[in-house]
A and B are shown apart, each in its own frame.
Chain A
Amino acid sequence: MTITDFLQLIIFGIVSGAIFALGGIGISVIFGILRFAHLAHGDMMTFGAYLALAAITSLHLPVLAALPIAMIGTAAAAIAIDYVFYRRFRQARPVVLLISSFGIALVLRSAVQLIWGPGNYVYESGISIPYVIFDLRIKPDHLLIVASTIAIIVAFHLFLTYTRLGKAMRAMSDDPDLARVSGVDTERVVVWTWAIGGALAAAGGVFLALDTQLNPLLCWNILLPMFAAAIVGGIGRPYGAIAGGLLIGIVEELSTSFIDPAYKPAVAFVIMVAVLLWRPTGILKGTT
């Protein structure tokens, strides 16, 4: 492998890492606040990607303009799903939420297929010409994905650090009972958790669709690397999920020079299991 090939793979890894991070943050935050592994997260992302498709085809918007629409729509859907289903299981054992979210994954995936059909779509047809810098090919889409992800993550960071609600989310992730005792209306925090998790999920879904193409299994297929990102980063810690996402993305891409690319998802899985066994709280310590 030449140094150029290596750097090229790193670039691809950063792009998929950004997408894993957007999904992984949501998984991590939802786990931190609600203490369950949200198995429908991938399909929520797929749903967001298709919402953007609807905005692009019906309103003739560019992808970047369709993105906020998809984010808001998916946030609303996430809140609605929580309100209708998950909310009823808050007092039940956590496994009930696992099973429920597995069912919701199926509902979302089927809904996408019912509305848009089983076929493949792209947002914009046509070939985009990559920029070439020192023999490295950088696609405009990739730049857009990474730049937008950085912008979204910075906004999310500012929200967590400086707003009353962001602090309440972190507090609730630390200790829900103590947050309640401090006067935090935890149900309101839960609503915002879904709003943010859903919005970030939609962004991740749109970016993956932009990089590949839409189909109903789009993001179910990356559920494993996203959970790996969240777990490697220490579940419950959104910043860890960003680092975890980049790590998983880069390692997955680099692995393709040694093993059959078809086994990329298995690489994420192996890293995840290794971390679970070696340091279950993540490489950066997480919520237990």
Chain B
Amino acid sequence: MDMGGLLNYAIFFATFAGIFAVVALGLNVQWGLSGQFNFGIAGFFAVGSYTTAILTSEPVATRIGGFDLPIVVGLIAAMILSALVAWAVGWVTAGLRTDYLAIATIGVAECIRLIVKNEDWLTNGVRGIPGIPRLAADWFGPSPWIMLLLVAACVIFAYAAIEAARASPWGRLQLAIRENERGATAAGKNIARARLEAFVFGAAFMGLGGALYAHLFGFISPEAFGPNFSTFLVWVMLIAGGSGNNKGAILGSFVIWLIWSGTEILTNRLPVEYVNQAGALRLLLIGLLVQVVLIYRPQGLLPEKL
């Protein structure tokens, strides 16, 4: 690989890791701050992706839209719609115990995936949506840089917003609820409301991450929203980085993405008959990695500061 290629790869790497950081920060609100399980990250990610894809792509006859709107509108709408879906989900599931919430959110993601796959009029079904605008190159330098800048801005925005929320009375209330609820199952209208707010707040960033993903690749299809990739990888990132710690969430995203990408470089060197299996091998390693983290460093690289 020449220097230019290496630089491009580094930019792509940082962009993708940044997108994961946005999602991991969202999960850190739900899990790290509020103690709510969400194994349905892929669902909110998909909502964000498809929202911006439909709003910003060019009009086509076979499905709703596109509406050819500016990317920034797509990003904001992705956050809003993801938050709305989270509100509907959370409104129903807010009172559930952790283990039931885990199953319920898997179910939500599965339902969203079924909709994405089957409602052709909305999402173009299994063929996916091509032609999602990528950041234009004509008004400032080479386009990979702009995408990276946009993603970096989103990471900073997410970090600042979540840190501010964490330090506010609202954040302290979340912590208090989390610590209390670990023992007993407290009820109460205010607690349910606070938990719902955290769930919605976190989901907005998952939607934003999904939207950024759509604009990075310019094409999305239901394939990308299976449970392995976005949901599990983000969990590993947050746990490895240190759940409850926003810097940890960002660090974890980059470290795990480095490992994930690194294994891709290694598996690409395998003999050709095994390359097809490489994806499976990488997932297997990630599945083992999370066990190692849980056993040897359950608090993560940067533990939560209380």
Contact = CB atoms under 8 A, between A and B. Distances in A.
A61 interface: no
B281 A114 contact: yes
B288 interface: yes
Contacts of A262: 114, 117-118
A149 B103 CA distance: 25
Contact of A103 (B37, B106, B288): B288
B232 A110 contact: no
A194 interface: no
Interface string A201-226: 00000000000000010001001100
Interface string A35-62: 0110100000000000000000000000
16 contacts: A37-B99, A94-B99, A95-B37, A98-B98, A99-B235, A113-B277, A117-B277, A227-B103, A262-B114, A262-B118, A263-B114, A263-B118, A266-B111, A272-B104, A276-B96, A280-B96
Given A107-B287, A273-B93, A114 B277 contact: yes
Interface string B66-94: 00000000000000000000000000110
Q: Is the interface of A mostly helix, strand, loop or mixed?
A: helix
A109 interface: yes
Contact of A89 (B92, B114, B294): B294
Given A102-B39, A265-B114, 7 more contacts: A39-B102, A103-B236, A103-B291, A106-B283, A223-B106, A266-B107, A277-B95
Nearest to A36: B99
Interface string A105-126: 1110111011001100000000
Interface in B285-305: 286-288, 290-291, 294-295, 298
Interface string A9-40: 00000000000000000000001000011010
Count chain A CB atoms within 10 A of each CB in B93, B99, B104, B239 and give the residue with the most: B99
A232 interface: no
A269 interface: yes
B300 to A, nearest CB: 12
Given A99-B239, A106-B286, A107-B284, A276 B104 contact: yes
A102 B231 CA distance: 10
Contacts of A277: 92, 95
Contacts, number: 125
Count chain B CB atoms within 10 A of each CB in A37, A88, A93, A117 and give the residue with the most: A37
Given A39-B102, A227-B103, A102 B114 contact: no
Contacts of A269: 104, 107-108, 110-111
Contacts of A135: none
B105 to A, nearest CB: 11
Q: Is the interface of B mostly helix, strand, loop or mixed?
A: helix
Interface in A241-288: 260, 262-263, 265-266, 269, 272-273, 276-277, 280
A132 interface: no
Interface string B267-293: 000000000110011011011101100
A31 B277 CA distance: 33
Contact of B98 (A94, A110, A111): A94
A104 B284 CA distance: 9
Interface in A80-96: 85, 88-89, 92-96
Contact of B294 (A37, A100, A111, A223): A100
A70 B290 CA distance: 28
* 7 cross-chain pairs, A with B, having the tightest CB-CB distances, nearest first: A110-B284, A107-B287, A106-B287, A269-B107, A113-B280, A103-B290, A37-B99
A268 B114 CA distance: 13
Contacts of B37: 95, 98
Contact of A231 (B100, B236, B294): B100
Contact of B92 (A36, A96, A106, A273): A273
Count chain A CB atoms within 10 A of each CB in B276, B281, B290 and give the residue with the most: B290
B193 interface: no
Contacts of B96: 276, 280
A90 B235 CA distance: 20
B114 to A, nearest CB: 6
Contacts of B236: 103
A99 B293 CA distance: 11
Contacts of A105: 287
A262 B39 CA distance: 22
B182 interface: yes
B114 A106 contact: no
